[in-house]
Amino acid sequence: MSKNRFLALTLIFSSAALVLASFSVNVAAGHANPDVVADQEQVRYQGSGGLILPATVDTGARNELIRCRGCGWKLTAACVPGPNKYCDAAIRGCPGLIDHVRVWFRPEGGDWREVDRICLTHYEVSTVAGVEKRIAENFTRYVPDQAARCWPAQGAVTHLPLLCESGQSATQVRWRVPIAGFSVAITAVPSWRWDFPGRVLDTGQSGGPYPNKAISHTFPIAGRKNIEVTTRWAGEFTVDGLEPVAIEGDLLQRSTLGVTIGQAKARLRCPGAGQC
């Protein structure tokens, strides 16, 4: 064998040995510490914030994931397709074209851990943020409309109180809707902001005519006035009986009420019919 050919074969075998050594290290490291990083190219969905899992998952884990706002989550392939008996069994566990995925969870400041394996349909990839968006888009169908008005109905005068009401009850409202395959129960409690010219009033009372003085304002100057009324619904929701989740952001209704304020005039009146 020539010297050059011998050197070439030596380099080939040396390179192969390095590749095998590197492969062994990678496999050993992945086997000793399996986490989601090993499945990066197999990630189906990923995100942060609350994740809503199907009822096949342990209730404690479902509550933990739905209530964690700053957590990370990923849904990865249950296995890499190939001649793997476990992989074949996992795929057979989900009927039809439904995907089989691993659910990974990372709490704030913590490490990734596998929560469970689920049969996934696109209806079951449901987040808290997504549910909140659906509630915000449709909540006016279930809460009473604003019907703000003030007294005196024909208009007030300066230096005397104008009394107002929102036209809504101060009691909480409840409704239930299906969202992404889940039964979602919502509870909302109203409060109000009255923006009078030169004054803002925040209250949990709905107001009313005299003698109810919960919402009143006195104008020092006559003229046409605009009063902005905002109803803020502070809500929470539950999914399939899990622990309640407070809705981030307010559900708001707004309207503007125009009133005419006249100038109060003093008139001297004498007692009886005599001259003053």
CB 160 within 8 A of CB 263: no
pLDDT at residue 38 tops 50: no
251-262 and 156-157 as β-strands: parallel, antiparallel, unpaired?
parallel
What was the pLDDT predicted at 227? Answer: 97
Measured distance CA(250)–CA(102) in Å, rounded: 34
Tokens of 46: 């990923």
Is pLDDT larger for residue 265 or for residue 224? Answer: 224
Do residues 156 and 261 touch, judged by C-beta distance below 8 A? yes
Confidence of residue 39 (pLDDT cuts 50, 70, 90): very low
Question: Helix, strand, or coil here: 171?
Answer: coil
Q: Quickly state the pLDDT bin for 16 (edges 50, 70, 90).
A: very low
Copy the structure tokens of residue 246: 């407070």
For 28-135, strand residue ranges (E) read 43-48, 51-52, 72-77, 99-106, 113-120, 126-127
Most confident of 77-81, 111-115, 123-127, 186-190: 186-190
Report the first-to-last Cα separation within the chain, whole angstroms: 142
Q: Does domain 128-262 have CATH number 2.60.40.10?
A: yes
CA distance 93 to 78: 11
Lowest-confidence range among 78-92, 98-112, 129-143, 166-180? 78-92
d(CA 147, CA 164): 11
Q: How confident is the model at residue 120 (pLDDT cuts 50, 70, 90)?
A: confident
pLDDT interval class at 266 (50, 70, 90)? low
**Are the C-beta atoms of residues 105 and 118 closer than 8 Å to each other?**
no
In the structure, how many helices (H) and strands (E) does the chain have? 4, 16
Q: What percent of the chain has pLDDT over 90?
A: 55
73, exposed or middle or buried, with CB in 10 Å at 0-12, 13-18, 19+?
A: buried
Residue 225: beta bridge partners?
Answer: 259
Using 50, 70 and 90 to split pLDDT, how confident is the model at 45? Answer: confident
What average pLDDT is seen over the chain?
80
Written as six digits, the tokens of 15 are 């390179």
Q: Is 181 left (phi over 0), alpha (psi -120 to 50) or beta?
A: left
Closest to 188 in 3D by CA, of 177, 169, 201, 175: 175
Confidence of residue 31 (pLDDT cuts 50, 70, 90): very low
**Hunting for tokens 């539950």 — which residue is that?**
238
Instruction: At 211, give phi and psi (nearest 5°).
Output: -90, 10
Residue-wise pLDDT tens digits, 123-173: 567 899 999 999 999 999 999 999 999 999 877 899 999 999 999 999 999
* Nearest alpha-carbon partner for 179 in 233, 120, 238, 235: 238
pLDDT per residue as tens digits for the range 70-83:
899 999 887 766 66
- Judged by average pLDDT, the poorest of 34-48, 106-120, 213-227 is 34-48
**pLDDT for 180:** 82
> Would you list the domain boundaries of the chain?
34-124, 128-262
Per-residue pLDDT at 250? 83
